Every structure is written in C-alpha cells, then in structure tokens.
Structure 1
C-alpha cells in the first residue's frame, strides 16, 4: 500500500514538473520573434535568416495580413507557403528598420506586438520603387511554444 501511495505521489509530482516546463516566457519569445522577423526584412537577409524565423512557427501556421490576405486557416502547407512567399521578397529592401513599441502577453496562448517600421526598395514583381513607413500590430497565437497563427493589422 505504501509503495502504491509513493508511486502515485511520484507520478503526480513529475506531472506537475512537466506542466511547469511547458510554460514559456512570452515577453522574451515576443522579442525573439520580432528580432528574427526583422532580420528577414534586412537588405542582406538570406535563407539562413528566413529559416531562423520559420523555426519559430508551427508547420501548419495560419497567417493573415489584412486587407490583402484575409484567410488565416491553418493548413499542413502553412510554413511551406510562408517560406515560398517570403523567399520571393527576400532581399527586396535596400533599407529597412523597425522599432518594437509594445509587447502584450495573454496567459500562455497569445502575444501581441506593436512596432513601427520603414522600408525602401524595389518590388520584385513590378520592379517599381517602394517606400513606406507604418505602425503594425501582430497578434500571435501560441501553441506548444511556437507561433500557430499570425494576424497582422495596420494602425
């Protein structure tokens, strides 16, 4: 009986330790995400920076960027689709800078980051000059320590 009680307590105790291990510091994760995302926009960005950013996402990541991309459905090809789209624009900027303005963490399920960025370059499809400055909010849904859904909003 005592052995059964001790075994039960060990199982319960180890389960609580595992539950605590699954919690991440969302503030630190938000800053890491921002730094990796910004690195992909740099004029010198390569596939290395892109893969470091994509490593933070689930394979089936959903993504919306209103008003252009409105469907944030999670599909098995989510990360692959993002890789393809981001590779097309890789190195399109001749100038890029961004400043993280705010981070909001919501329990262990979501982060919102607000930032201001400036970009200048040549659009890879139209070959026309581009230049913009904007304030953005990204809401990131977190699942098992990775970004599962990205929703981008312009201020």
Structure 2
C-alpha cells in the first residue's frame, strides 16, 4: 500500500514536470517566432536581429531547403547567420506572419508552422520580390537554446 502511494506521487510529479516542460517550450516557441518575425519587418534593426540571435547557440546549424541543405553545426554558425541576415535586413516593405501550430517533443525539439507574406526589394538584384507561403521550422534545443534550425516550405 505504501509503495502504491509513492508510485502515484511519483507519476503525478512526472506528469506535472512534463506539463511544465511543454509549457516552457511553447513559451520559448512563441518568443522565437516573435523575434524571428521582428527580423523580417520593414523596420527591422540590428538590435532586433541580435534579440533573435541570442536564442541560438554559437555553433547553430541551419538548413532552408531547397536553398541551403547542409545543416552542419560549425563554430561560426551564428556569425554566418548574422552576416546573411544582415544582408537582407530591412529589404521587406511589407511582412506579415501568423503562427499556426506549435509542436513540442520532450525538451529537445520544437516544430513551428506559420504562414507569411512578404513584399520588398531584393538587396542584390534590386528587383521587386513578393512571396506568400506556409513554413515549418523544426528547432533542435540544447541547453535552452536553438542548436539546429531546419526550414521547410509546404
């Protein structure tokens, strides 16, 4: 009988802890989404970019199929993302995104699915751009930060 009491208490603790972890990951996912969207806004600044990058490990891996297929983690992963994102910073004249779904997988991964619509001028070609799409990002979490980002188009 005493064993059963302890077993019930143990499983209740496991359920409460699991629920708290899921809520923390969902909060992290919302924060990640909000900060990522801020980097795409027409008025995006280096400050908004740094607020996003602080969520990533220094050696973050990143793929964005079909454009970037290698998601290897390299020592300069965050620095490379900073350089690439700075090049496009402020190139949108319009950007809107809506978070559609958040999926959490224990404490090691998050998937966010969102729609976005952007208009702007490509900084290199100076051509007008516009796109509207559904995206999914799978984020591998390590020590409370994003270690790998995998982006997929629907």
* TM-score relative to the length of structure 2: 0.86
1:99 paired residue number: 98
Aligned residues: 134
Cα offset, 1:107, TM superposition: 0.1
Q: CA deviation at 1:65?
A: 0.1
Instruction: Give the 3-state SS of the residue equivalent to 2:42 in structure 1.
Output: coil
**Structure 2 alignment gaps of length 5 or more:** 1-16
Q: CA RMSD in A?
A: 1.0
Separation in structure 2 between the aligned mates of residue 112 and residue 46 of structure 1, nearest angstrom: 26
Structure 1: which 4+ aligned runs deviate by more than 4 Å?
none
Aligned partners of 2:119 and 2:25: how far apart in 1? Answer: 31
The match for 2:85 is: 86
**Distance across 1 between alignment mates of 2:115 and 2:74:** 29
- Name the counterpart of 2:12: none
For the residues of structure 2 that align with 1:147 and 1:68, how far apart are their CA atoms?
Answer: 20
Q: Tell me by how many angstroms 1:69 deviates.
A: 0.0
| Partner Cα separation in structure 2 for residue 29 and residue 64 of structure 1 | 20
Alignment of 1:1-155 (within 5 A): 25-155=24-154
**Alpha-carbon displacement from aligned partner over 1:9-61 (angstroms, at most 9, x marks no partner):** xxxxxxxxxxx8xx681000000000000000000000000000000000000
SS of the equivalent of 2:48 reads helix
How far apart are the structure 2 equivalents of 1:43 and 1:129? Answer: 14
Quote the Cα distance in structure 2 between the aligned partners of 1:34 and 1:65.
Answer: 16
Distance 2:44 2:66 in 1: 26
- In 2, Cα distance between equivalents of 1:36 and 1:68: 22
Name which one, 1 or 2, has greater alpha-carbon Rg.
Answer: 1
**Structure 1 length as normaliser, TM-score?**
0.85
Q: CA deviation at 1:97?
A: 0.4
Aligned-pair CA distance for 1:93: 0.1
Any stretches of 5+ residues in structure 1 without a counterpart? 1-19
